[in-house]
Structure 1
Amino acid sequence: MQAKYKRYTIGFYNLENLFDTHNDPQVLDDDFTPRGRKNWTEKRYARKLKKLAKAIGQIGDDKGFGIPVLLGLAEVENIRVLKDLLHTGGLRNQDLGYVHFESPDERGIDTALLYHKKFFKIKQTEVLPLLIYEEDGERDYTRDILYVKGHLNGEPIHVFVNHWPSRREGDEETAPKRLEAAKTLKRKLEELGQTEANPNLVIMGDFNAGPHADSVNALMEYPALYNPMKKLLMPHRGSANYKGEWSLFDQIIISHSFFDHVPGTHSFAHADIFDERFLTEWKGRAKGSPFRTYRGRKYLGGYSDHFPVYISLKWNP
């Protein structure tokens, strides 16, 4: 396929609990119902969809790259919320598709991939289950890793969307779970390396760990990978802020193949955090932090507790 634009945006966005308002007895979504602790009404749901659609439509656009051709998502409840999102605001005018599988996560939150149908063609989709167990032998049901193989402007590319296990029970206590996620993904990369020479890899997600964490470093032991996000984390900048401390759990990792400037391929051009002012809190102690939907039980009406992150790829004619 002939590429129309010189630059293409690939992004990732943790949407902070994008639940519909219906109670699903199979998952722990009771808080996000009209009578639940969050008082999650249709009006609030529609407002969040509108805000997220606005944000997604502008990711990377401060550089003039246009709407993302690929966008990984975390914390989506089901297919319904994806369909509702794609029919909201400016997104309804875009030719966007999605890939989503229900995961065994006990909260009912999944990963997904949005893609621009004009530029990306799906060839294969699958999930990589995370088989993680507690000390008592009980399985910890968490998000699967979403794997999508496709062609971006005719060039083969392998995309992995991650949402690694939470740190809610403590960083050290949960670190082995994220390390197992890294090992699971690494095994898949090794499998691909046996069947395809120098594959194009895009690994994105909320890793619940920063660029220098042991789990991310374990993944980076796979020699083909490069993490352009390492340079973005600063004392006063990141993708999320907890109690005044910035983190960069949201990352996009790519293969070194994107540094080969070969005609008819894409090469890496830029990486950034999309932290435009409209996505931030404008005043108070949280000024500059992501304008989130809730702080605890208090409804704020914002976008998400995470900023999107993105990379841009340049088309080599």
Structure 2
Amino acid sequence: MDHIHEVLQAADKPQIVGLVEVEDERMATMVLDAVRDLGYRNMAITKGGSATQCVLLSSFPIQSVVSLPTTSGVRDILVASVDVGGPLLHVLVNHWKAKDSGETESLRIKSAKVARAEVDRLLKQDPATDIVLMGDFNSTEDEHRATGKTTGINDVLRTTGDSTSMTAQTSRYLYDPWFEMPVSQRGSEVYGSSWESLDHIIMSPGLFDRTGLSYDVGSFDAFRAPFLLSYQRAADGRQVPNRWQESGNHHGSDGYSDHLPIMAEFTVWPDHT
């Protein structure tokens, strides 16, 4: 709890926070209580039976919460509608199937189809609605190029790095800001000795219309506070995440996470109507 508090405080208290691999509602409530002094008052959590739930912390009121089931053995997707002081922001917190041994992309595709169906449902109601998908997608921003196969993130969600294409409300694409960064600077997690960008903040076209809530293009980055980095280095020379230490089946008090937090900034534009 102290480490979560430390990270959020160092990151200048982001007003909306997505977490994954939270054990249950009791633990999520403990996390919320531990960071109340930073301004967090509201919490939402998925309702699955596993000990790896998705959670949203918010300093803004949460108007509604839905836990979207995907398929057997795959985590639910959390949908929380947040009142940020204008039109609602719909946040989908995801934790897709990991790349275990064997073929697992089919399970990520199933999660992507559930997430995309919810996005399409919201866009059908209002093409300008503001939607953010965040979490650990266990997929890189260019997964389809790396694998040469159909992927959940690129082909089902239909992600793009072209922000100019997002200004049209008829766009069927969702924006992935990892593409803003040089390839050599991308990454939130190290596998083997190479960086991977498995964590994402993905956005709908409504976040580019400078009405209500809009994304500040270029603000996205992984949060690399010195205490979150280890003395060890990846193949490219960058310091790797200072992950929590494990002894047997128990986590120690040292270290933080094997994934770096990722962040993006948004602006609430005044209503000129």
TM-based fold match above 0.5: yes
Select the residue among 61, 73, 79 that pairs with 1:121. 61
Q: 1:248 Cα deviation (Å)?
A: 0.6
- After the TM superposition, which of the residue ranges 76-85 and 202-211 deviates more from structure 2? 76-85
Aligned to 1:57: 9
Q: 1:300 Cα deviation (Å)?
A: 7.2
Aligned to 1:18: none
Select the residue among 160, 172, 178 that pairs with 1:223. 172
SS at match of 2:119: helix
Q: 1:303 Cα deviation (Å)?
A: 0.7
Q: 1:267 Cα deviation (Å)?
A: 1.7
Aligned to 2:99: 167
5+ unaligned residues in a row in structure 2: which ranges?
Answer: 144-150, 160-170
1:83-98 pair list within 5 angstroms: 83-88=29-34, 91-98=36-43
- Asked whether the 8 Å contact 1:232–1:273 carries over to 2, the reply is no
1:275 and 2:207 aligned: no
Q: 1:93 Cα deviation (Å)?
A: 4.6
The amino acid of 2:207's aligned partner reads F
Q: 1:250 Cα deviation (Å)?
A: 0.4
Query: Deviation digits for residues 155-185 of structure 1, max 9, x if unmatched?
Result: 2211100000111224xx1011101111111
1:240 and 2:173 aligned: no
1:278-289 pair list within 5 angstroms: 278-283=227-232, 288-289=239-240
SS at match of 1:281: strand
Q: Residues 189, 169 of structure 1: CA spacing in aligned structure 2 closer, same or farther, 3 A cutoff? A: same
- After the TM superposition, which of the residue ranges 273-282 and 283-292 deviates more from structure 2? 283-292
Q: Residues 234, 267 of structure 1: CA spacing in aligned structure 2 closer, same or farther, 3 A cutoff? A: same
- After the TM superposition, which of the residue ranges 269-278 and 212-221 deviates more from structure 2? 212-221
SS at match of 1:87: helix
C-alpha distance in 1 between matches for 2:206 and 2:245: 40
SS at match of 2:242: coil
Show structure 1 runs of 4+ deviating over 6 A. Answer: 284-287
The amino acid of 1:247's aligned partner reads E
Query: Deviation digits for residues 62-118 of structure 1, max 9, x if unmatched?
Result: xxxxx1111111010012222222333x6435242110133133xx111010000xx
Aligned to 2:45: 100
SS at match of 1:155: coil
Select the residue among 109, 116, 130 that pairs with 2:52. 109
Query: Deviation digits for residues 210-260 of structure 1, max 9, x if unmatched?
Result: 111222112126714211122347345410011111001100001121121
Q: 1:296 Cα deviation (Å)?
A: 7.7
Q: Residues 316, 285 of structure 1: CA spacing in aligned structure 2 closer, same or farther, 3 A cutoff? A: closer
> TM-score, normalization: structure 1?
0.71
SS at match of 2:58: strand
C-alpha distance in 2 between matches for 1:148 and 1:176: 26
- Cα RMSD (Å): 2.3
C-alpha distance in 2 between matches for 1:280 and 1:95: 26
Tell me how many residue pairs correspond in the alignment.
Answer: 245
C-alpha distance in 2 between matches for 1:121 and 1:284: 41
C-alpha distance in 2 between matches for 1:123 and 1:185: 19
Select the residue among 135, 143, 155 that pairs with 2:75. 143
Q: Residues 54, 169 of structure 1: CA spacing in aligned structure 2 closer, same or farther, 3 A cutoff? A: same
SS at match of 1:289: strand
1:195 and 2:125 aligned: yes
> TM-score, normalization: structure 2?
0.81
C-alpha distance in 2 between matches for 1:285 and 1:267: 35
The amino acid of 2:265's aligned partner reads S
Aligned to 2:112: 182
Of the two structures, which has the highest relative contact order with CA contacts closer than 8 Å and spacing of 6 or more? 1
The amino acid of 1:169's aligned partner reads S
SS at match of 2:231: coil
